[in-house]
Chains A and B, each alone.
Chain A
Amino acid sequence: MPGPNPLTVTHVGDHELLFTRDFDAPRTLVFEAHTTPALLQQWMLGPGGWTMPVCEVDLRPGGRFRYVWRKDGKDMGVSGVFREIVPPERIVHTEIFDQDWTGGETVVTTTFTEANGRTTMTMTVRYADAAARAGALQTGMVGGMSDTYDRLQDLITRGEFHPAG
């Protein structure tokens, strides 16, 4: 069996991260899975052990959404507002985590394009605070594709190197 479709993460300019992922399903289903609470609660769970007890989606321009994840009595929540909804092609929404770790609200544009029953999803996350965390996230999230990250990784794998001189 082939492995999962790869997730690619690239940075666009100083402010944006672009995630791309293919799904072996028509885009009507992928769109539905991204916008229906009962479905979101089955997959948008992050790493093991988290549940998603709150998943409210008011799917219309100006409508709000609220997600809360829970593990070991700890909650992590995110809220936002939909700006554009074009089923099953495009969603634009704002989002901000309760403990703002992205340096302000982000604007997320998600597109679904279909070819031969297969859907390509692109998700562009635009960060408000380019200078700080988002910039660094970009550094790391690009993974092996970035020279910078390779260099940093090299630094890490050397561990406690002993500088010459």
Chain B
Amino acid sequence: MELQGYAHAPARLDATFAALADPTRRAILARLSQGEASVTELTAPFDMSQPAISKHLKVLERAGLVSRGRDAQRRPVRAEPRPLAEASAWIDTYRQAVEANFARLDTLLESLKAARGLGNRPRRKVSPRRRRTRKDP
């Protein structure tokens, strides 16, 4: 996996993300997480024609998210977890990068507050007390 930058998804995840952007395709994947199914079985829960579902399956297949069995009659569809794992890993990396930024910002803000006397603790009245001490014999 070539490192292009922490915010860049590897190019081959493009197809994965594009495929996952559609709610029907996510629902198909969720159904397939229970086990393989035929196109007819996959079509049943949706208010959609079989050709429409087949079109979605082609997108998922091109993205490597599903594969089709060899059984000529049934050609069962099954989920392939690997691209999802890669996509998930990238998303975690991105989220961690954003969290790391804000954790560093927390630290920076603490030092800015300290430098400008904006600390959380109530300000100690250092100068008046010192003055009073000096005046008192």
Please report A residues at the B interface, Cβ cutoff 8 Å.
Answer: 4-5, 7, 9, 19, 21, 23-26, 29-30, 32-33, 39, 42-48, 50, 69, 71-72, 74-76, 78, 97, 99, 101, 117, 130-137, 139-141, 143, 148, 151-156, 158-161, 163-165
| Cα A99 to Cα B85 with chains together (Å) | 23
> A29 contacts B88, CB within 8 Å?
no
Q: A9-B95, A43-B101, A136-B16 are in contact. Are A33 and B109 (CB under 8 A)?
A: yes
> Are B106 and A140 in contact (CB-based, < 8 A)?
no
Secondary structure at the A interface, as helix, strand, loop or mixed, is mixed
A43 touches B105 (CB 8 A): yes
Give Cα A109 to B23, complex, Å: 27
B97 proximity list for chain A (CB < 8 A): 46-47
Report whether over half of chain B's contact residues are helix, strand or loop; otherwise say mixed: helix
CB-contact partner of B5 in A33, A99, A155, under 8 A: A99
Q: Are A25 and B112 in contact (CB under 8 A)?
A: yes
> Chain B contact residues (Cβ within 8 angstroms of A): what range?
35 or more
Q: How far is the CB of B76 from chain A (nearest CB, A)?
A: 7
Return the contact of A141 from the options B32, B78, B95 (Cβ within 8 A): B95
Sample (14) of A-B pairs whose CB atoms are under 8 Å apart: A4-B99, A7-B102, A23-B105, A43-B101, A74-B3, A74-B5, A132-B17, A135-B17, A152-B30, A153-B88, A156-B81, A158-B81, A165-B36, A165-B76
B29 and A24 contacting across the interface, CB-CB below 8 Å: no
**B interface, CB within 8 angstroms of A:** 3-9, 14, 16-23, 26, 29-30, 32-33, 35-36, 76, 78-79, 81, 84-85, 87-88, 91, 93-110, 112-113, 116, 118, 120
A133 in contact with B84 (CB, 8 Å): no
Docked CA distance A149–B118 (Å): 41
Q: How far is the CA of A29 from the CA of B119 in the complex (A)?
A: 12
Cα–Cα distance between A5 and B36 once the two chains are bound (Å): 42
**Given pairs A43-B107, A47-B6, 4 additional interface contacts (CB within 8 A):** A25-B110, A29-B118, A46-B100, A117-B120
